[in-house]
Chains A and B, each alone.
Chain A
């Protein structure tokens, strides 16, 4: 089990992988920063492909800043099929004008996956395929943000058997892509990414999957207020049983919190109102690649290789299956033991780095 912890070699391999997957070199960073060293509001286009518009809707739910202030004061959102006044060729003109007038300086926000099977006929806008639109728009973009799991990892249409060849954005473009997964992502996480990029003029640090560490660096499980119940072995055994009414841990109800990296249990949803676990349902892991195919949602997870709150997505593989009670108990014990080992390792790595 110790061999599954991470070493310095793993860490360096991760760094290389991160740079490759996310497509960010130093030049990419400089490019984005220079794009915003000007007074004009940055030009932004929002593309819609194979999606359900839940990312757009989530964006509208933002509370700090509210979407109105962002639309009016922070950026020039020149194209979004959900809100824009223009339709038809006037809408297309908004897109082509933005590209022509802001070469290398505009930001592309993509909602949805791109179907690549059968010459891309499964998503067409204005008689053009999603893929051809993506390539045209991405060519001169300063940076690309992939909203939600559809654009980041394919999401529901990419679930087995992925009938239309739904493909995430980073696999199709040779540009920097910031993945902001979730179905949808939390509204204020979306705003956090936008303002990090546009107001600070900085790229957020990303993990190996191109996700901002700022919001995807911690497991839902490790930041969950119900975590002490898990550690104490107090579990909901059936929905709305006595334990559910006491707010015990939902692990046995299939909660994916232990393998899901997201900010739900810290930032929560809709201005901190609640999050799935707080409202009695396990996390379904919607920000993790392939979450639709990680077994039925109400089957709980098998025990994982020991890892503690210091682990990151880069070192923990998702292991899914049917757990036994013994597995749950073992996991709880191992987690606590591992915690100390991992802390020690992280300290050692930090010392080497500095």
Chain B
């Protein structure tokens, strides 16, 4: 029995440590630890609720915008604000843009090197690479000259030190791609790096900057005026259109074809990394406003035991449904560490009981992470693109069903293949393809609004704190690219009295709960083979398939050990 430690887990956001127990070349137990905490919820206390989007947006710069959206929704929910339809469309344009950008970056820059051997790409025949690429993509850049140039670039780079590619697991027996496919993927890794900065400009048009564009309680900050240069006008909308067209081409001719080509060589990974069998999605992309979740393009719901015949309803305001546990987290609860608390009643008393740094292992420590452990009706849930697709599939959404069936057909695998590391990575690609399609739809809807002059982007009815009730509480639900994300807020006398975030990587990457039930990362690693314990690329494959975001996952801390719910701001 060997205990492998991977720390830092790189090519993620934030600070993650994985400790895995390997017996006879197979993982038999795993521990996922978040090792950084900032205390943002504590910092939110007493502030103006209208500022919360800006503070919570800084939870994460990789999944930028998503916390801002959850936050403005939570405040609007608390204060009974309905935003104008045009503002909702612009928010959806921002969010679909984020999906597409985030997923492409994840595939090429955070995940691909678990599957693609960059050194092996030097052995490829560029002409043959172009021929192979032509079989699955119409992208006109895929020429022998282009692949030869990329190869030369990498050769020169290797000669001057490998920089970010140094000390990778190159030549590891788990890499299965032929040199030409490695070269295609490496070439597109470089292209994606240059492309991703383009699609982000959509955020900049509507939000002024990226990362961290501006949001606004009550709508969006930009105004539309087709007769004014200093507003959203024809030129701005044309720019957005061009960026959407570019993105559409990149997703359909580069990302999706590459994903399927690479996946075709790793079908064995449809048998590993399945992990949990419960899936949660809050639903996303309103078509008749946020207050009508039935209209969302992605529906809300829970799937239990991989049973796609039943979708269970989710109520985020029910104190018995979503709860957070700290049995194995560096916190303590007044009523005992085995309790579960709904976010509106959340307690936050940090108590680091881990080893004094520097340390070698967390083995032997009952508590081992700064992440709390969320549960839905006491059950662990996987969240993310796969969960979204499964809930939509099971809810009878034909657009999702058709896309999923078509993709499974292309790969020659059945529905059970979805419940795996490979399935998770493929689901992210389909999620991006759907987001791309919806981004185009939302743009067209925006143009209709402009045409009929329905251009209001802000509802200021309850902007002034004097119009607010003395006490209010709300919840903002979103589906971030990484999965179910919600913010819970309590407002008292115009100030934030309590603010809690339960984010995707907290669901997926948390330590086990009081009952010993593992969360997604830990469960998914069980049964994974590890060929070389000093080069555990297999661990990275499964962990990266969740697209971890640790800054999001850990954000709590109250140094006074007070109950946040009891802090008053008279």
Q: Which residues of A contact B (CB under 8 A)?
A: 40-41, 43, 48-58, 60-63, 66-68, 71-72, 75-78, 80-94, 115, 117-130, 132, 155-157, 159-164, 166, 183-184, 187, 225-226, 238-240, 244-247, 264, 269-271, 273-281, 284, 292, 296-298
B43 with A292: CB separation less than 8 A: yes
Q: Does B131 make an interface contact (CB < 8 A)?
A: no
Contact of A85 among B40, B60, B168, B224 (CB under 8 A): B168
Q: Which residues of B contact A (CB under 8 A)?
A: 5-15, 17, 35-40, 42-43, 47-48, 50-51, 54-55, 58-62, 64, 105, 109, 113, 118, 153, 156-157, 160-161, 163-169, 190, 193-194, 196-197, 200-201, 203-214, 216, 218-225, 228-231, 239, 352, 354-361, 370, 456-458, 460, 463, 534-536, 540, 551, 557-559
A245 with B231: CB separation less than 8 A: yes
B357 with A120: CB separation less than 8 A: yes
* Cβ–Cβ < 8 Å partners of A298 in chain B: 48, 50-51
Decide: A166 near B38, CB < 8 A? Known: A53-B14, A240-B219, A270-B201. yes
A67 to B109, CA, bound (A): 13
A78 with B357: CB separation less than 8 A: no
Contact of A275 among B153, B161, B208, B216 (CB under 8 A): B208
A281 with B208: CB separation less than 8 A: yes
Decide: A77 near B43, CB < 8 A? Known: A88-B9, A271-B197, A276-B214. no
Decide: A71 near B164, CB < 8 A? Known: A51-B551, A183-B58, A274-B208. yes
B60 with A53: CB separation less than 8 A: yes
A57 with B557: CB separation less than 8 A: no
Name the residue among B204, B218, B458 with the largest chain A CB count within 10 angstroms: B204
**For residue A83, which residue of chain B has the nearest CB?**
B164
Decide: A247 near B231, CB < 8 A? Known: A68-B193, A88-B6, A124-B36. yes
Contact of B47 among A270, A271, A279, A296 (CB under 8 A): A296
Nearest Cβ on chain B to A292's Cβ, whole angstroms: 7
Decide: A279 near B205, CB < 8 A? Known: A72-B157, A88-B6, A121-B357. yes
Nearest Cβ on chain A to B227's Cβ, whole angstroms: 9
B50 with A296: CB separation less than 8 A: yes
A270 with B58: CB separation less than 8 A: no
**For residue B370, which residue of chain A has the nearest CB?**
A122
* Cβ–Cβ < 8 Å partners of B8 in chain A: 81, 87-88, 91-92, 125-126
Nearest Cβ on chain A to B494's Cβ, whole angstroms: 10
Decide: A279 near B204, CB < 8 A? Known: A61-B197, A246-B225. yes
A-B contact pairs, 10 of them (CB 8 A): A49-B36, A54-B211, A63-B197, A90-B169, A115-B38, A125-B7, A129-B357, A239-B216, A279-B205, A280-B222
**For residue A186, which residue of chain B has the nearest CB?**
B209
* Cβ–Cβ < 8 Å partners of A52 in chain B: 13, 58-62, 551
**For residue B51, which residue of chain A has the nearest CB?**
A297
Decide: A157 near B163, CB < 8 A? Known: A50-B36, A82-B13. no
* Cβ–Cβ < 8 Å partners of B228 in chain A: 245-247
Decide: A163 near B559, CB < 8 A? Known: A85-B164, A279-B204. yes
A246 to B361, CA, bound (A): 60
B54 with A297: CB separation less than 8 A: yes
B209 with A269: CB separation less than 8 A: yes
A273 with B166: CB separation less than 8 A: no
* Cβ–Cβ < 8 Å partners of B458 in chain A: 238-240
Contact of B61 among A50, A54, A81, A276 (CB under 8 A): A54
B43 with A157: CB separation less than 8 A: yes
A76 to B167, CA, bound (A): 14
* Cβ–Cβ < 8 Å partners of B224 in chain A: 245
A245 with B38: CB separation less than 8 A: no
* Cβ–Cβ < 8 Å partners of A93 in chain B: 167
A91 with B460: CB separation less than 8 A: no
Nearest Cβ on chain A to B48's Cβ, whole angstroms: 4
A127 with B358: CB separation less than 8 A: yes
B197 with A292: CB separation less than 8 A: no
B210 with A269: CB separation less than 8 A: yes
**For residue A112, which residue of chain B has the nearest CB?**
B36
Decide: A270 near B221, CB < 8 A? Known: A58-B211, A87-B10, A119-B356. no
Name the residue among A77, A264, A278, A280 with the largest chain B CB count within 10 angstroms: A280
* Cβ–Cβ < 8 Å partners of B203 in chain A: 270
A296 with B62: CB separation less than 8 A: no
**For residue B193, which residue of chain A has the nearest CB?**
A68
B37 with A297: CB separation less than 8 A: no
A88 to B51, CA, bound (A): 38
A290 to B251, CA, bound (A): 41
**For residue B207, which residue of chain A has the nearest CB?**
A279
* Cβ–Cβ < 8 Å partners of A55 in chain B: 61
Name the residue among B39, B165, B219 with the largest chain A CB count within 10 angstroms: B39
Give 10 closest A-B pairs by Cβ, nearest first: A247-B230, A54-B61, A163-B39, A85-B168, A276-B208, A279-B208, A281-B221, A240-B458, A281-B214, A86-B167
A132 with B219: CB separation less than 8 A: no
Contact of B161 among A41, A81, A117, A245 (CB under 8 A): A41
* Cβ–Cβ < 8 Å partners of A85 in chain B: 10-11, 113, 118, 164-169
Known: A54-B61, A61-B200. 14 other contacts (CB 8 A): A52-B59, A61-B210, A62-B197, A81-B11, A87-B8, A88-B7, A89-B534, A122-B557, A124-B15, A125-B8, A239-B216, A270-B209, A280-B222, A284-B214
**For residue A275, which residue of chain B has the nearest CB?**
B208
* Cβ–Cβ < 8 Å partners of B535 in chain A: 90
